[in-house]
Structure 1
Amino acid sequence: MRVFVAGGSGAIGRRMVPQLVARGHQVTATTTDPDKRAMLEQLGATAVTMDGLDAAQVGEAVAAAEPDAVVHQMTSIGAIDMKHLDRAFAQTNRLRTEGLDHLLAAVRASGVPHVVAQSYGAWNGIRKGGWVKTESDGLDPMAGTAAEPVMAAVSRLERLVVDAGGAALRYGWLYGPGSTEILAEPVRKRQFPVVGGGAGRTSWVHLDDAASATVLAIEQRAQGVFNIVDDEPAPVSDWLPHLASLAGGKPPLRMPAWLARPFAGSAGVLMMTEGRAYSNAKAKQQLGWQPQHPSWREGFAQDLAA
């Protein structure tokens, strides 16, 4: 297949491009940074510099690639500030809305038969009922918190991609080379406390597993929403102390929700105390996907020991 990866130089794109190439696909991968073109070419892709928020550039790039599938992996995520998620994700929200609109317009104009897009499903399941959610349970809108615009962008993306006959992949909290250490550093410094008992659940997924699931969704022309998470959704009170120990730090501090809210914001407190994680049963059954890192426990250890 000819596969167009928008955002190919990102964390998942860099892991996905070589998997696609190894399976015999022709890959066109985009980046906003011309200096990253050489890296994409070394991975086996045809590299294109493209601004995902420029409709003309997107249309021209997709038309030139003549792809059988378009993959939306465009994000702009730096350090995560739970109190100000609306600020931290402002550019990513635009890429998930305006950028998606440009890609879908290009898909229609060029007659591309299939679309796959990155969504998010780590701790943002609807906050009612059990702790682990399926695709039919939906996302929590996080109304009134700094996460509300993030959830609105993700929900819109899922709806439009599914309506277009494509697949929206809800990746769990991503970790892997480069990403695990970014999270481990504030944990090591005891800047990431367990709030209100830490009962909220989180789903994780290794970057390589997120990439392999995406490859399967492309190859199988999958349709609908899929949770791409590992086998062990876990309470914060479990994974956070484990990560602190692996990172060589002291056990995380513990504080009540009222004390944490001015620092972590309402979204951060909700994640810690009420977050709902996700089941990967559908992805396993329908895509035949099996994560190579079935548990964050071993995954964290491998990454931090590397």
Structure 2
Amino acid sequence: MAVRVFVAGGAGMVGRRLVPQLVARGHQVTATTTSEAKLAMLAHLGADGVVMDGLDAMSVNAAVAAARPDVIVHQMTAISPAHSGKPDPKHMDRWFLPTTRLRTEGTDHLLAAARAGGVPHFVAQGFAHWNGSRAGGWVTTEEDPLDLHEGTAAHKLLAALRYLEEAVGRADGVVLRYGGFYGPGATDDALALVRKRQFPIVGNGTGYGSWVHVDDAASATVLAVEQKARGVFNIVDDEPAPASEWLPHLARCAGAKPPMRLPKWLVRLLAGEVMVTIMTEGRGFSNAKAKRELGWQPRYPSWRQGFQEGLA
């Protein structure tokens, strides 16, 4: 059954892949952007575009009220250099501050607008790349806690994700924890570093990560919308893997030389403690629940195939 879908952040990386999939399924889509210059692009994708400031409660309430949606999909982030500046892994708290605010204040504004408008379903973007609990094995499930990396520069952004999950859970919505994105527009910065041999394997590269192509993330979101899913789902591919495996493969697919290997102490000095932890102690995620309960089947079940075919 076709529904009215309000995609907050519809001009973003996932939104640009999600909107056409929703439209192709017959849904009526309203998609937001912070820039009037992107309204034409949203129209081309098949959506009714609207300019909205996710950090302004009045702007959010007005946009949602005008759209009268059946479901709100929260895809608002501000990770691009235009919003957050040059990537700065050593100071993640500063680098991700705009996105942290969108995942706290922005989530509150969207949920308040949903309550005011009687919107019955809420879908939000979460994160499941390297931040699984380090208390257990290398692969974690939705039953395991997220690692908040207390005392590090990553704590505020990870605490914001927990805040989002708890707020959406209280509203009986669903959080889709997307893995590390790759695909059109998703890995440009990383590929540039790989080609310059500035993305090294740290120590033995034992830290695990989980990946997902942006189109697969979008397809899972369509299923969550149509099935009125509740709870938390890891939206990742079938093969969580250590950096020592996926990073050299990424370099080969990018036509680059093999990545250098650097000791932990040097990377700690250059890029900070969080990057060392990610590359040596990170935990990946299982997608079994999403496949079982949503019936989701990623087009790219492994980053091995996906990096080769899905980076263009």
Q: Which interval holds the TM-score relative to the shorter structure?
A: over 0.9
In 1: Cα distance, 2:168 partner to 2:127 partner: 14
Partner in structure 2 of residue 153 of structure 1: 160
Q: Deviations over 1:147-192 (max 9, x none)?
A: 1001000000001101100000100000101223331110111111
How many residues are matched? 305
In 2: Cα distance, 1:105 partner to 1:292 partner: 35
Q: Contact 1:180 / 1:300 at 8 angstroms: preserved in 2? A: no
2:10 maps to 1:8: yes
Secondary structure of 1:136's aligned partner:
coil
2:108 maps to 1:108: no
Secondary structure of 1:4's aligned partner:
strand
Secondary structure of 1:227's aligned partner:
strand
In 2: Cα distance, 1:174 partner to 1:81 partner: 18
Q: Which runs of 5+ in 2 are unaligned?
A: 81-85
Q: Give runs of ≥4 in structure 1 deviating > 2 Å.
A: 78-81
In 1: Cα distance, 2:249 partner to 2:87 partner: 20
> 1:114 Cα shift?
0.5
Partner in structure 1 of residue 42 of structure 2: 40
Q: How does 1:215-254 map to 2 (within 5 A)?
A: 215-254=222-261
In 2: Cα distance, 1:231 partner to 1:186 partner: 26
> 1:261 Cα shift?
0.1
Q: TM-score, normalised by structure 2?
A: 0.96
Secondary structure of 2:272's aligned partner:
helix
In 2: Cα distance, 1:63 partner to 1:206 partner: 32
Q: Contact 2:190 / 2:199 at 8 angstroms: preserved in 1? A: no
Secondary structure of 1:71's aligned partner:
strand
In 1: Cα distance, 2:239 partner to 2:189 partner: 21
Partner in structure 1 of residue 83 of structure 2: none
Over the matched positions of the two proteins, sequence identity in percent amounts to 66
> 1:253 Cα shift?
1.1
Q: Contact 1:127 / 1:276 at 8 angstroms: preserved in 2? A: yes
Q: Contact 2:127 / 2:179 at 8 angstroms: preserved in 1? A: yes
Secondary structure of 2:212's aligned partner:
strand
Instruction: State the one-letter code of the partner of 1:241.
Output: P
Partner in structure 2 of residue 255 of structure 1: 262
Secondary structure of 1:250's aligned partner:
coil
CA-based RMSD of the aligned residues comes to 0.9
